[in-house]
Amino acid sequence: MAAETSTFVTYELTGKVAHIGLNRPEKRNAMNDRFVEMLADAIARAESEAKAVVLFGHGEHFCAGLDLAEHVEKTPFEGVRGSRRWHAVTAGMQHGTIPWVSALHGGIIGGGMELAAATHIRVADRSAFFALPEGQRGIFVGGGGSVRIARLLGVARMSDMMLTGRVISPDDAERWNLVQYVVETGTARDHAHKLAETMATNAEISNYAIINALPRIQDMAKEDGLFVESFIASFTATSPEAEERLRAFLDKRVARIKAPDAE
């Protein structure tokens, strides 16, 4: 299907994988309220017809975060409403029914990091750089970063980035658990697509359990998490699709897992 453009967001369905593009390159894909609503529409469409999503940025950068020109004109209550709307929209990504992979290049700054943190897998190419300059701007994260980014990096590293304006490289981001893959410049979207294609072949109920149960179990006490795990494991394993896939494995109709090729 050909790409479709709705001003700030593009949408393209390739097989079972939707590609959603942030499309405001002249502003380094900085997001305003209109942008967020268009992203919400794209998320809803992907949920209705795709099995996985690749999120990427058009132009030289993934996303430079909030459009501060719009943000500075808001009243305190308008700011709260805008933040809560961003929370609701990104929850549709993180806690939807299909997995998301973000393809990161150029600047991933402030709200751009918050947006990437709402995806399940993050692929960065070597042009990527990451920053949380809120301290220098006199503001605070409002797009879910204090929860999502802090869970990925840890509070100490996130505090360092916000307090000092430190900019980190893709290798640092991988070492700090912010991204899972680092690839050559210009290849992040292709790599993300391959990962998304693999995810799209998984059992739907398994994908749903992985992206929804794991983060919630992490928020539970140990024994509560183990108790919930038992129910999720039983529920998924007894689905008709799981039964067929397990029988295919036992009947040797699918390949067994092999060790990765030696470097």
Burial of 119 (0-12, 13-18, 19+ CB in 10 A): buried
Tell me if residue 229 is catalytic: no
Q: Are 220 and 40 in contact (CB under 8 A)?
A: no
For residue 5, the surrounding DSSP H or E stretch is: strand 4-6
Closest CA to 110 of 74, 137, 75, 82: 137
* Beta carbons of 129 and 167 less than 8 angstroms apart: yes
Q: Which is the catalytic residue, given 47, 134, 223, 244?
A: 134
Residue from 37, 114, 204, 223 carrying the catalytic annotation: 114
Q: Could you say which DSSP state residue 63 is in?
A: B
Q: How many CB atoms lie within 10 A of CB 243?
A: 11
For residues 190 and 54, give the distance between their C-alpha atoms in angstroms, rounded to a whole number: 9
Cβ–Cβ < 8 Å for 36, 85: yes
- Nearest by Cα to 117 from 126, 106, 109, 125: 109
Active site residue 134: yes
Catalogue the active-site residues: 114, 134
